[in-house]
């Protein structure tokens, strides 16, 4: 069973919460972050993307950037924009997007659980991305990025959290510029804190990383550096959501060329493994093993004829079906992680983004894919396998800066 603990969050004074709250560091480029933070000296992007405060020619992975992040974080505290909680607490984080809400528990999860696979992973990490967060954590002494996690729904845990929400007033409640509402409650009652810790210990055999594999892996490596002097470094910042409240969005593909094929010969090869139907509008698959394809201003519906590898949690993923029946044999893409001819577009951008990338000549063909289910994610993680790259897109995103875990 998993271990979670409360923590003393570094968080904004209430009047600054909306200004501080920033999109996750890894969904923005440096130039996008600079625009996003323009005119807002309290934006947490000055900490998570601190290169925006340095000359444009500075390497975003240089020590100067991490030193600037530390300088900016210290300045936020000295200016009383941020303060540290006076006792370890749990926090409830509710997100509302398009009328749909999801509520998670913000806590610190055990890195022993991470190492012992009680915290399940479904994605490989890249050393360069890990090193960026390692250097950021070591220099700032803070885990600024929240790891988005899931657990299999437990009614009694849900009841405790919902009762607290109904009985208490939130410490933050605002609608961000992207129309997503962020509401946070503070749980500072010692009996309730102990009850929540016990319920997770008794009823949750494993948790699952939904978004934030690099943040988690980096925290695990940083603790080797800090643990001798910091017990806090044995834990990492997480928000745990029950599975019945989560929805995974589609994660679509675009490919630069047709692998030397003409449009006609490409379609002929596609028809070897798929039934191909011309359709008049953008197509978002509503069932497994069907796909949308967009090429030369025309949408097609693809239905796989047979799936030779129909057993096992990885083989049944639509992304695997598309790869084995089209991307690899027809377009010559052997490894989606490394092939520069393929790119990935999160479902939040919509199918118009697929059309745009093809219509402007940047890409030759686009594919819309039925999203992975939360149960499929659990099945893959439980099997010890990893998903194909860019398989899951979770929305809405947790904001950085609202709750930070200090590790030294």
> Residue 328's domain is classified under what CATH number?
3.30.1760
Kindly give, in sequence order, each residue whose CB lies less than 8 Å from that of residue 291, ignoring residues fewer than 6 positions away. 274, 285, 301, 302, 304, 318, 322, 367, 368, 369, 370
Co-location of 345 and 402 in the same domain: no
* Residue 388 forms part of a structural domain: no
pLDDT(288) > 70: yes
Is the whole-model pTM more than 0.75? yes
The range of the structural domain enclosing residue 78 comes to: 4-247+396-406
Which of 84-88, 245-249, 307-311, 349-353 holds the top average pLDDT?
84-88
Co-location of 137 and 184 in the same domain: yes
Co-location of 123 and 204 in the same domain: yes
Co-location of 282 and 241 in the same domain: no
Return the higher-pLDDT residue of 311 and 147: 147
Residue 335 to residues 222, 308, 407: CA-CA distances in angstroms? 30, 19, 37
Whole-number pLDDT of residue 312: 81
Q: Range with the lowest mean pLDDT among 187-191, 202-206, 336-340? A: 336-340
Co-location of 93 and 234 in the same domain: yes
pLDDT(311) > 80: no
pLDDT tens, residue by residue, 29-78: 999 999 999 999 999 999 999 999 999 999 999 999 999 999 999 999 99
Co-location of 191 and 269 in the same domain: no
* Residue 383 forms part of a structural domain: no
Co-location of 41 and 116 in the same domain: yes
Q: What is the average per-residue pLDDT within 72-97?
A: 97
Using 50, 70 and 90 to split pLDDT, how confident is the model at 285? very high
Nearest to 5 by CA among 242, 201, 245, 222: 201
Kindly give, in sequence order, each residue whose CB lies less than 8 Å from that of residue 109, ignoring residues fewer than 6 positions away. 2, 3, 4, 119, 147, 149, 207, 235, 236, 238, 240
Co-location of 153 and 225 in the same domain: yes
* Residue 380 forms part of a structural domain: no
- For the record, the structure tokens of 276 come out as 């191909």
Domain count, the chain: 2
């Amino acid at each position: 069973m998993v271990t979670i603990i409360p923590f003393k969050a570094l968080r904004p004074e209430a009047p600054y919460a909306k200004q501080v709250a920033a999109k996750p560091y890894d969904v923005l480029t440096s130039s996008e972050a600079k625009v996003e933070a323009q005119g807002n000296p309290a934006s947490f992007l000055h900490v998570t993307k601190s290169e925006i405060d340095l000359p444009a020619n500075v390497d975003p992975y240089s020590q100067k950037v991490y030193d600037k992040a530390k300088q900016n974080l210290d300045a936020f505290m000295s200016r009383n924009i941020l303060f540290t909680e006076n006792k370890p607490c749990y926090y409830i984080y509710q997100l509302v997007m398009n009328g749909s809400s999801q509520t998670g528990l913000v806590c610190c999860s055990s890195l022993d659980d991470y190492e012992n696979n009680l915290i399940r992973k479904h994605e490989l990490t890249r050393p360069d991305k890990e090193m960026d967060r390692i250097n950021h954590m070591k220099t700032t002494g803070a885990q600024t990025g929240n790891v988005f996690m899931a657990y299999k729904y437990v009614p009694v845990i849900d009841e405790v959290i919902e009762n607290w929400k109904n009985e208490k007033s939130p410490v933050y409640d605002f609608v961000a510029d992207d129309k997503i509402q962020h509401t946070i409650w503070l749980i500072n009652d010692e009996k309730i804190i102990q009850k929540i810790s016990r319920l997770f210990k008794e009823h949750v055999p494993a948790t699952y990383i939904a978004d934030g594999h690099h943040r988690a892996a980096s925290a695990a490596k940083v603790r080797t550096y800090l643990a001798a002097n910091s017990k806090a470094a044995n834990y990492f910042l997480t928000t745990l959501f029950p599975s019945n409240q989560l929805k995974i969005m589609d994660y679509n593909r675009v490919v630069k060329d047709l692998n030397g094929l003409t449009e006609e010969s490409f379609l002929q090869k596609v028809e070897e493994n798929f039934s191909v139907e011309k359709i008049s509008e953008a197509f978002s698959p509503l069932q497994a093993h069907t796909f949308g394809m967009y090429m030369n201003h025309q949408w097609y519906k693809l239905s796989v004829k047979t799936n030779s590898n129909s057993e096992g949690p990885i083989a049944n993923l639509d992304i695997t079906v598309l790869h084995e029946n089209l991307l690899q044999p027809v377009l010559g893409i052997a490894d989606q992680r490394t092939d520069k001819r393929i790119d990935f577009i999160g479902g939040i951008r919509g199918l118009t983004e697929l059309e745009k990338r093809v219509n402007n000549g940047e890409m030759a063909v686009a594919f819309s894919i039925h999203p992975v289910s939360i149960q499929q994610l659990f099945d893959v993680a439980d099997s010890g396998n990893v998903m194909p790259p860019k398989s899951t897109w979770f929305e809405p995103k947790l904001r950085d800066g609202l709750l930070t875990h200090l590790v030294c």
